[in-house]
Chains A and B, each alone.
Chain A
C-alpha cells in the first residue's frame, strides 16, 4: 500500500539516533512485527530512491487534546548516516511523507510459552520492539541489546515496560556488561535448564553471523532480520538479494531480502557466502 503520512513527532533519542511517529491508514494496523516501510526523504530527485525502515511500533495514537479522535500511527527508529536520513531528521510535526508498506515477510511468533530471546545491535533494535510487544502476550521474553557505547543502546526502558528482561552489553563498557552482546546471550543459554528457546535477531552482519552460529550449534530455532541495499522494496530490482544455503557455483541460490525477507530462518541463508 502507498500512502501519504503526516509526521506526529520526530525527535532525537540518543546522539545520532532519531524516533519518528507518523500517521497511518486503518489497514496499516495489520502490520506484522519484522515488516518494513520504504519512504521518500524528499519529493525531488536527490535523494532519488526510497529508504527502508523497520516498523518500530504501530497502534492507535491518542492526541493530547481531549475529545480528539484517536487514529492509527506507526513509528520508525533511524540513525542519521547520510543525506536521506539527515533530511528526515530536519522534518517537523505536520510535514508530509510518501510511504510504501508494510512490506516483506515478518517474524514467525514461534511456540507460545517457550522462552523468546531477542538480540539487537544498535539501530537493529528497530523492528524488535513490535515483536517483543507481541511475544510478551504468550511467552517470557529476554532482550540482549548491544552497541559500541551507551549512546547505541536505544529504548531499553520501552522494552522493560513490556515486562521484558533486558541484558545490555557495550564494547566500551559505558553501559551494562563490557563486551559484545553475543557473550551475554551465551551466558543465558548456558544457564538454562533444558528449557526450549527461540532466538530473534537484528543488527550488523557480524553479530547476526555469530548469533546464527550460536543457535545452530545448540539447535535453537533462530530468525534474523536482514538489511540490504534496495531500490524498490517489492522484489523487482534484485539489488538486495542475499545468498541462500544452497548456493554453489552451479546453483545461483539468491534470496530477495525485501520480498522473501527481511526475516529469514537463519538455517536458510548461506552465511559463508554473504
Chain B
C-alpha cells in the first residue's frame, strides 16, 4: 500500500512534506532540468528585497568537513524584477512557491509583505529574520524577540497569505524567539537557518571568506538542527518546518519525529540538483516498508 504523503501546513495543502530551502533553489526554473517540480511539496525562492542587491565580496563560499560556509550576502534581483521576470515561470508549475524576503527596517519588511501579498503566483511568504551575513536587517531582527515580533506583526497586517518566519540558530534561547513570532501572528516557523562559522587559510593567514564569517550548512549541522526543531516543536503551538543538513529521506523523517510538520532541503540540492525528489521518494519507500499509512503520523511521534 502506498503511504499518504500529503500534508497541510499553515493552510497550504502540499503533495509531500519536502520543500526547497530559500537560497539553494534559485527561483525554481534553474532546477527544472534536474527534477520534476511537480513531485516536490513546495519551493522557497531566493530571499528578496525591495531593491536589487549585489551581495558580498568574493570568495563567498568555502567547503568544510561535512558542510560548507557561505556568505553570499543576499544577492537578489529585487522585487520588481522578480515580479516581471521570475514570477511568470511560477504560473507554469503546479507546486506552491514560497517567497522568502527581508528588509532593512520594520517598514521595509511590511512593504515587502504588502507587495508580495499581491503576487498571485506566490502561495506563502517566508520572513527571513536570520541571515547571518549582512549587517543591517536579517540577523538584527532574528536575535531579539521584541524586534522579531515587531517585524512579524508588521508583515501580518499586510498579508492574508500563510506567513512563515525563518529562525536563526545563532541565539541563546530559540524557544523565546519562536514564542515571540508565534504571539505576533506567524502561521508557521521554519528552522534552522545557517550557523555562524569561520574557516581560516593557514598558509595565507587569512579568513577563507572575504566576509570573514559565514553561515554553516550541510550534514555537519544536522544534530544542532534536530535539537532546535525538537525544542521549538514541543513548546510552541505552531507547525514547524525543519531543516539543517537533510541529505536523505531518513534524515527528513528524523526531523518529522522531532516535531516537524514539513522539511526544507537546501545544501543537498547543490550536490544533487534532483535531491528533493529523491528525498520525497526515499521517505515514501521507508514509510511503505515500515507499514506507516500517513507521513503526517510521523510528526512529533518520537517515543
Contacts and interface: CB of A to CB of B under 8 A. Distances in A.
Chain A contact surface mostly: loop
Contacts of B66: 45-46, 48
Given A236-B25, A252-B52, A252-B54, A231 B273 contact: no
Contact of A48 (B33, B58, B67): B67
A27 to B, nearest CB: 12
Given A45-B219, A236-B30, A237-B24, A231 B61 contact: yes
B6 to A, nearest CB: 27
A2 interface: yes
Contacts of A228: 58
Contact of A236 (B24, B59, B65): B24
A241 B53 CA distance: 13
Interface string B193-225: 000000000000000000000000011000000
B60 interface: yes
A101 to B, nearest CB: 11
B159 interface: no
Contact of B271 (A50, A239, A252, A259): A50
B70 A239 contact: yes
Contacts of A45: 66, 218-219, 247
A122 to B, nearest CB: 19
A229 B53 CA distance: 20
B62 A229 contact: yes
Contact of A252 (B23, B30, B75, B269): B75
A247 B57 CA distance: 12
A252 B81 CA distance: 14
Interface string B49-84: 000111100111111011110101001000000000
Contacts of B162: none
A231 B270 contact: yes
Q: Which of B62, B267, B271, B272 has the most CB of A within 10 A?
A: B271
Nearest to A232: B270
B54 A49 contact: no
Chain A interface category by residue count = 20 to 34
A241 B58 contact: yes
B211 to A, nearest CB: 12
Nearest to A98: B272
Chain B interface category by residue count = 35 or more
Contact of A232 (B46, B269, B274): B269
A234 B31 contact: yes
Contacts of A40: 271
A234 B60 contact: no
Contacts of B273: 2, 100, 232, 234
A49 B34 contact: no
Given A48-B219, A252-B75, A236 B58 contact: no
A47 interface: yes
Contacts of A234: 26, 30-31, 34, 273
Contacts of A162: none
B60 A238 contact: yes
Contacts of A2: 34, 272-274
Nearest to A228: B58
Interface string B249-276: 0000000000000000001011111100
Q: Which of B31, B63, B269 has the most CB of A within 10 A?
A: B63
B274 A237 contact: no
Contacts of A239: 59-61, 70, 72
Contacts of A253: 54
25 contacts: A1-B33, A2-B34, A2-B272, A2-B274, A45-B66, A45-B218, A46-B65, A46-B66, A48-B218, A48-B219, A49-B63, A49-B271, A98-B272, A230-B61, A231-B270, A232-B270, A237-B72, A238-B55, A241-B55, A241-B58, A242-B58, A252-B54, A252-B75, A254-B55, A259-B30
Given A229-B59, A252-B54, 7 more contacts: A45-B219, A46-B65, A48-B219, A236-B31, A239-B72, A241-B55, A251-B54
Interface of A: 1-2, 40, 45-50, 98, 100, 228-232, 234-239, 241-242, 247, 251-254, 259
In the A-B complex, the 9 residue pairs with the closest CB atoms = A252-B54, A239-B61, A231-B270, A232-B270, A236-B26, A45-B66, A45-B219, A239-B60, A46-B65
